[in-house]
Structure 1
Amino acid sequence: MQRPLIAVLIASAFLTLNAQAADLIQVYQQALANDATYASARSSLAAGQERITQGRAGLLPNISASGTNLRNNGEFIPFNEGVLDVVNGQLVLPKRSDVDNHTNTYTVSLSQPLFNWSLWQSYQQSKLAQAVAEATFAQARQDLITRVAQAYFDVLTAQDNLTSTQAQKVATTEQLASAKRNFEVGTQTITDTHEAQAAYDLVVAQEFAAINDLDNKRTALQVIVGKAPGELAPLRTGVTIDPPSPAVVDPWVGSAEDQNFAVISAQLQLEIAKREIARNRGNHMPTLNLTAAAQHTNQTAYGANNNKAIGVTWTVPIFSGFAVTSQVRESIALEDKARNDLEATKRNASQTARQAFLGMTSGLAQVKALEAAEVSSKSSLDSNKLGYQVGVRINIDVLNAQKLLYSTQKDLSKARYDTIMNGLRLKSAAGTLKEEDLAPVNALLAH
């Protein structure tokens, strides 16, 4: 008799666990495993990590083996085939003979560059290219953090908008019913009823829009995490958001210009462009290689033969149709482009850091002001409801007070989300955003 009860309790426990809302860190972990953009960046990193091996290969020995196995079947025809000989009074044709020769040859050769300036520069470029891949992946990881957080808070914003709209709908419904009752008993005019009806119709339309917006925001989060998101943990009531540290913008801007991963990548690209100039100029220089070879030949007609050789080969370029000169000019122009790209990237990182810092500081002030406005709006609504009951306020006053309160609450929640996001963007612009930075944000949620 106790087994069914135990089964029910276990099932209830699992349902409770499944019904628990997911927090920001849990959603981020899902995105790490399922986000296609991040997976693409991870594959690009794996490909970029092969650059050094490929660049170093040009400086290492190149060993190869080759061979031939030929069988020749022929017939030897004397030079005087068309002349008849007379032997013992008889005509004799010239004698032919068959020729059968089997040749088997194999060669093992080695080539080791001793001096090749272009290959050396290619090797240096390969190390820089791998560093670019690593910086690009680090930027992709930061972007994933901000994308997940933005999508998460977009869903919460849409949920808050829907909740506020539905609460406003309930209040407007009550106000509409009150206006109709008062009109029926003759204490109010039909105008109050029409105003309440118009407000109700408007909030119903807003509810449909809020439902659609919430569905869109949840779909956007699903694209990142790879599956339909469940319930999300909301912000706790009355949370306090910490200001940026340091509290001045200059250190953040300096960090953005030096440590931002996009800036680091642009700096590496500039160095690669400089190496490209040297690599192309190396095509004017001589090259020197150590070569060695061992060859074995076996012929049935002539026997076996072994040959070994070792030495140095050199090449001096003399004229290539102005191709090398043109390539040098091209690489100089591309270096100038890379330098301008670096400057543009630095300015963009600096601007992003300033915008995020100002957005966070102004957001904190806005949150404080909206918290005070929320208190005032609640007091205003209570006063208007009381005045409406005693006849010193009309229906439209109550409706406007309700609308103001719900609008203030929506603005307050949005300001909090935007302030948190600007804090994450500020660290991302400065190149210091890490997964650990999600923990303080996650602590603000109601688990």
Structure 2
Amino acid sequence: MSRLSRVLSRGLLLVLCCHASLPALALDFRLAYDRALRHDPTWLAAQSESAAGRHERALGRAALLPNLNYRYSRAHNDSKVRRSTALGDSSRELDYTSYSSSFTLSQPLFDAAAYAQYREGQALAEAAGLSRERARQALAVRVLQAYTDALYAQDEVALAEAHLRALREETRRSQRFVASGEGTLTDQLEIEAQSQVIQARLIEAQDRRQVTRNELRTLVGRLPEGGELAPLRSTSPVMDEEVPELGRWREWALARNSELAAERYRLEAARRRLDQQRAGHLPTVQLFARSQISDSSTETQVGQRYDTDSVGIEIEVPLYTGGRVLAASRQAEDTLDQARHELDATTAALLNDVERQYRLLQSSQRRIRAFRDAVAAADARLKATRRSILGGERTNLDALNAEQQRFEAQRDLARARYDYLLAWLSLRWHAGVLDDGDIDRVAAGFRS
């Protein structure tokens, strides 16, 4: 094997095999996901939003439960009383303190608005819980996306560095050949030109690596000190399984997708909100019990104290509210129409996403097979080029190009395998069947 081939082979080993000796602190996908559950701001915000939404059930129920309140008042009164009689007008001034204290217990007997509010609160609480589950599943997809992007950027940097080292070695070799009269200046210039191109690509790859690592750090909080990421194994548990037909995935999505279910509950909440506004035209009936103490409550009762216990029914009939009920009802109708359209839009987008991920999964399988063949072909071409060099038909520059093609095929194969895993996880997420077991199966495909 030539010296150039040994250099390039070491570069390939650096990219594809050195991960086998990663330190124990290397970050794998499962650890990244667990850290994201504790750190990712988007997920934490979704948890808080869901926790706030769950209180809607208690808020709606409160309108149907008994209401106990206490009222207290004490005031100093300065009053002038005028009286007209047959004997003429008279007046007197009163200076007294009034006092009132009461407990009132009320229980709604008929309140259509309160009942509608209760049903609305139930629907909103259910939607909040489903939104939280949707966000948790989405987090797994976002972590896998960021993790594989970082791995791919890391591979690009390593490949560019290996290629650049090989080119520098070939430059020194070409210089020696030119000095001894065995080489040509043209080969040397071509190698130098390639070195400049690869140097530019290396700079771009390093920038992409930093960007992807920053995105991953945003999710997980921190990365290992050495920045090691566990690479993808040569085989993965999810890559050999049979994928159901597209129709099954669509059925699952319509029946199980948590985002779609949450939109349905929001539509139900909008219906109940409309009922609540329309109930403004209806009377309300409540049972009440009141215990009240009053002292000098009016000018005619100065110095008189009353202890009064009352039990009864209060009926309130709305007659005119300035058009508020009608306007509020029409607003609620528009909101209900908006919720219907949003549900339709969510359903259409979901089915499109399901089909897109399904087709990406299928195409990724074909790409994996194609790039595996490309890697094998690149290996065969490299071996043939090396034999041609020994026969004087090829130059070391040809071997360098063949080795670069093999590197690129290996990189593209890795990208196709990353895309397959991401499409597999995203498809199960959109279909509403993603669970922790699926996350563990994806994580098993990465070396730690």
Q: Considering the TM-score relative to the shorter chain, is it more than 0.5?
A: yes
Q: 1:26 to 1:197 in 2, by over 3 A?
A: same
In the alignment, which residue of structure 1 is the partner of 2:129?
134
In the alignment, which residue of structure 2 is the partner of 1:286?
283
Instruction: Report the more deviating stretch, 276-285 or 62-71.
Output: 62-71
Counterpart pick for 1:48 among 50, 53, 66: 53
Q: 1:335 to 1:320 in 2, by over 3 A?
A: same
1:280-326 CA distances to partner (integer Å, 9 max, x unpaired)?
Answer: 21111111122222111346973532112221121222233333223
Larger C-alpha radius of gyration, 1 or 2?
Answer: 1
Separation of aligned partners in 2, 1:333 and 1:301: 56
Q: 1:75 to 1:341 in 2, by over 3 A?
A: closer
Q: 1:72 to 1:317 in 2, by over 3 A?
A: closer
Say whether residues 1:361 and 2:362 are aligned partners.
Answer: yes
1:75-130 CA distances to partner (integer Å, 9 max, x unpaired)?
Answer: 99xx9xxxxxxxxxxxxxxxxx9987554431111222111111100100000000
Q: Which runs of 5+ in 2 are unaligned?
A: 1-20, 85-91
The alignment partner of 2:198 has SS state of helix
Instruction: Report the more deviating stretch, 291-300 or 125-134.
Output: 291-300
Deviation, structure 1 residue 413 = 0.6
Deviation, structure 1 residue 228 = 3.2
Q: 1:345 to 1:163 in 2, by over 3 A?
A: same
Identity of aligned residues (%): 29
Q: Which runs of 5+ in 1 are unaligned?
A: 1-15, 80-96
Letter in 1 for 2:363: S
Separation of aligned partners in 2, 1:40 and 1:21: 28
Q: Is the 8 A contact 2:237 2:444 kept in 1?
A: no
Letter in 1 for 2:208: D
CA RMSD of aligned residues (A): 2.7
In the alignment, which residue of structure 2 is the partner of 1:422?
423
In the alignment, which residue of structure 2 is the partner of 1:401?
402
In the alignment, which residue of structure 1 is the partner of 2:259?
262
Separation of aligned partners in 1, 2:24 and 2:426: 31
Q: 1:342 to 1:311 in 2, by over 3 A?
A: same
In the alignment, which residue of structure 2 is the partner of 1:33?
38
Superposed structure 1 runs of 4+ greater than 6 Å apart: 72-76, 97-100
Letter in 2 for 1:33: R
Deviation, structure 1 residue 237 = 3.3
Residue correspondences, number? 416
In the alignment, which residue of structure 2 is the partner of 1:167?
162
The alignment partner of 1:50 has SS state of helix
In the alignment, which residue of structure 2 is the partner of 1:89?
none
Q: Is the 8 A contact 1:45 1:134 kept in 2?
A: yes
Instruction: Report the more deviating stretch, 37-46 or 64-73.
Output: 64-73
In the alignment, which residue of structure 2 is the partner of 1:202?
197
The alignment partner of 1:188 has SS state of coil
In the alignment, which residue of structure 2 is the partner of 1:22?
27
The alignment partner of 1:264 has SS state of helix
1:163-185 CA distances to partner (integer Å, 9 max, x unpaired)?
Answer: 21122122222332333233233
Instruction: Report the more deviating stretch, 398-407 or 361-370.
Output: 398-407
Deviation, structure 1 residue 328 = 2.2
Q: Is the 8 A contact 1:196 1:395 kept in 2?
A: no
Q: 1:371 to 1:379 in 2, by over 3 A?
A: same
Q: 1:235 to 1:309 in 2, by over 3 A?
A: same
Letter in 1 for 2:260: V
Separation of aligned partners in 2, 1:405 and 1:288: 82
Q: 1:386 to 1:176 in 2, by over 3 A?
A: farther
